[in-house]
Amino acid sequence: MQNKKVVLIVVDALRFDTACTHMGFMQHLVEQKMAARYKVCSEVPALSRPLYETILTGTPPIVHGVVSNMVVRLSTQTSLFHVAQKNGLSTAAAAYYWVSELYNRAPFSPMEDRIQLDKELPINNGLFYFEDHYPDSHLFAEAAWLIDNKQPDFLYVHPMNVDDDGHKFTADSAGYRNRVLATDNLLSLFIPKCLAHGYEVIVTADHGMTSDGNHGGTTEEDRHVPMFVISGAVKPGTRDGIISQLQVAPLCCELLGIEPAESMAPLLLDGVKANVE
C-alpha cells in the first residue's frame, strides 16, 4: 500500500442525530459524493478517556484497562501514533491534555507540557490544552499550524467545546445545538485546508450526550456518534447499519497505507475499496 496522510478529528460528545441535523457542511460533502457517513456505536463506558484510548488503539476498555476518566497513566497498548512511528511516519496532535497523558507524558504538567516537540515521543508534535472551554477556533488554528509547519503524516485533532456546552446546557438545548453548528463552520474552513495539503480526513466522536447533560451510560444518546470519511479509498454516501468504534483505528491504518497493530480489530467496513493505491 502507498503511504498517505491522514487527519483524524474527534469532536468530543458529538451525537449522531445532532450531527445529521446540524452539520450542514459535512452533509454537503456527503451529498456531493465527497464523503461517506457512518453511524458508530461507541464502546462503554461512554466516557472520554476510555474512548480516546479505544479510538486510538482499536481495543475495548476491558483490554486496554482505561475503564474510567480517573485512570491516569500512559497507555499499555500500541496506538496509531506508535504504529505510524514504527513505519517511519511523523505524528502530531492538537488535543486535550488527556491525550498527552495516554501517549507522551503522565501526569500532565500545564507549565511544562503545553507544547511538546520531540521526535522521540509517540506524538512527535503535540499542542495540548487543559481547560474544557478552550476555544475550538484556537484549537483548529493550532492544527492548521501543525499542517503548515510540521507536515505530519498522521494528525489527531480533538476539539472540546461541544462536550463542554453539552454538560453546561444538556444535549436538548440551543446551546449544545448551536455549538455543533459552530463546529461545522470551523470544519468548513479546516477540512478544505487538509484536502489541499493531500490529507485523507476522518471526522468522528468519542461519545454522545444526554438530555441530562451527561454521558457514560448505554443509551443511543450516550453511544451513537457519526463518522464522516473523506478519502479516495472509501466510497462516498450514507451507509446503513451501525459499525463498531473499534473500526476507526484499522481504518486509519488502511488510509495511511500501513499494517495495523496485531491488537487492533480487523477492518470490516462497508465501502472501503480494496487495494487502492
Where along the chain do its domains lie? 5-256
Taking every pair of Cα atoms in the chain, the longest distance, rounded to a whole number of angstroms, is 46
As a whole number of angstroms, the distance between CA 192 and CA 182 comes to 16
Q: Does domain 5-256 have CATH number 3.40.720.10?
A: yes
pLDDT band at 3 (very low <50, low <70, confident <90, very high): confident
- Residue 134 grid coordinates: 478552550
- Band (pLDDT 50/70/90 cuts) for residue 275 is very low
Query: Given strand 36-41, what is the order of strands in its sheet?
Result: 115-117, 125-129, 91-96, 154-157, 5-10, 199-204, 224-230, 36-41, 237-244
Asked, as a colleague might, if the bond just before 236 is cis with ω within 30 of 0, I would say no
The three grid cell numbers given for residue 154, joined into one nine-digit string: 498522521
d(CA 239, CA 36): 7
Determine the straight-line distance between the first and last CA of the chain, rounded to whole angstroms: 6
Please tell me the pTM assigned to this model: 0.98
3-state secondary structure of 276: coil
Q: Does residue 66 carry a pLDDT above 90?
A: yes
pLDDT at 273: 86
Within a 13 Å sphere around the CA of 91, how many CA atoms are in the beta-carbon half? 29
Tell me the C-alpha distance between 217 and 115, whole Å.
Answer: 34
Q: What is the pLDDT of residues 229-263, one digit of tens each?
A: 999 999 999 999 999 999 999 999 999 999 999 99
pLDDT digits (tens, 9 = 90+) for 151-195: 999 999 999 999 999 999 999 999 999 999 999 999 999 999 999
Give yes or no for a contact between 58 and 261, defined as CB atoms under 8 angstroms apart: yes
> In this predicted structure, what is the pLDDT of residue 2?
66
